A and B are shown apart, each in its own frame.
Chain A
Amino acid sequence: MIKLEQVRRDFKVGDQIVHALDDINLEIAAGEYVSIMGPSGSGKSTLLNLIGLLDRPTAGRYLLNEEDVTTLSDIEQAVTRNQQIGFVFQAFHLVPRLTAAENVELPLMLAGLPAAERRQRVADTLAALHLTDRAHHKPDQLSGGQRQRVAIARATVTEPRVLLADEPTGNLDHIAGQDVINVLESLNQRDITLLVVTHDLEVGERARRQLKMRDGRIIANQLRGAGDASA
């Protein structure tokens, strides 16, 4: 499903080149539940952004569903993001002037779906996440956990194959964080590929497959409760 071959990503900081990702080889099968852990600056977010097509590798190949997506045009990448990838961010990134339902509707609006179909899908998605009674609330009228649920609804309303979560519990208290992780895991049980970047050990260790990164490299790749697995 996701295949990275000798992927590198360099950043220029001043006159120095920083290797945010250094020769990454990674394969993730459909339906996997993967956590990516590591200290700040280890490249875990860069890896996630790259997989989410928000960033392009400096070198190497990225195959999504056996298709080389690194060479796609801006528009083709946008379509891929819209239809195959869902993002969940630490800061929720809800548009403050729009209601929960309107926020969830955004990706469908960008895709140009007819209004009636959009409304139905938004209602279904909100219902699945127990947000129906919050549909017409603005983000500032929602709790942190509810906001992240709305963000998850927005990420999944297009029924993507991959869900990318970057520190999804980072801005939440423990209980709300648990709730969000439960929601994400229940989505994974319905065959969505789930990648969670976190430096919360408790969250990270729930994943079936756990990657540890340092200095742009994957230094550990293990299955839950087991030893090292091949990358």
Chain B
Amino acid sequence: MLSISQELVDAIWAHARADHPDEACGVIAGPIGSDKPTRFIPMRNAAMSPTFYEFDSIDLLKIYREMDDLDEEPIVIYHSHTSTEAHPSRTDIAYASEPSAHYVLVSTREELAGANEFRSFRIVDGVVTEEPVQIR
């Protein structure tokens, strides 16, 4: 289960809508072992694409060092799908490399007409498991 504040959910949506039609991406860090998303870190999509996202490699180094200094880990790794459903794609699954993270997907596709599709998944060893989202 992902337990997350409304404020952080809103922050993810704001980022996804701002970057549409490109995929938005980012991390929410939290204290190691807490499973509590706390610190919102929107990232630049270095791929600048409506169908692919990638953190810039130097940005990635910076945030991992920062999290290390703060005894944090990535609790949520989020990104948006801009024309498909909010479910991990084969590419998402292939590149998921944080086994403890909650992979959050939102969809900004036009057909949703404002309806919110916000879903969370665990991706471990290539296996995707959807989990409930509890908004505090």
A binds B: no
B residues contacting A by CB (< 8 A) are: none
Residues of A at under 8 Å CB distance from B?
none
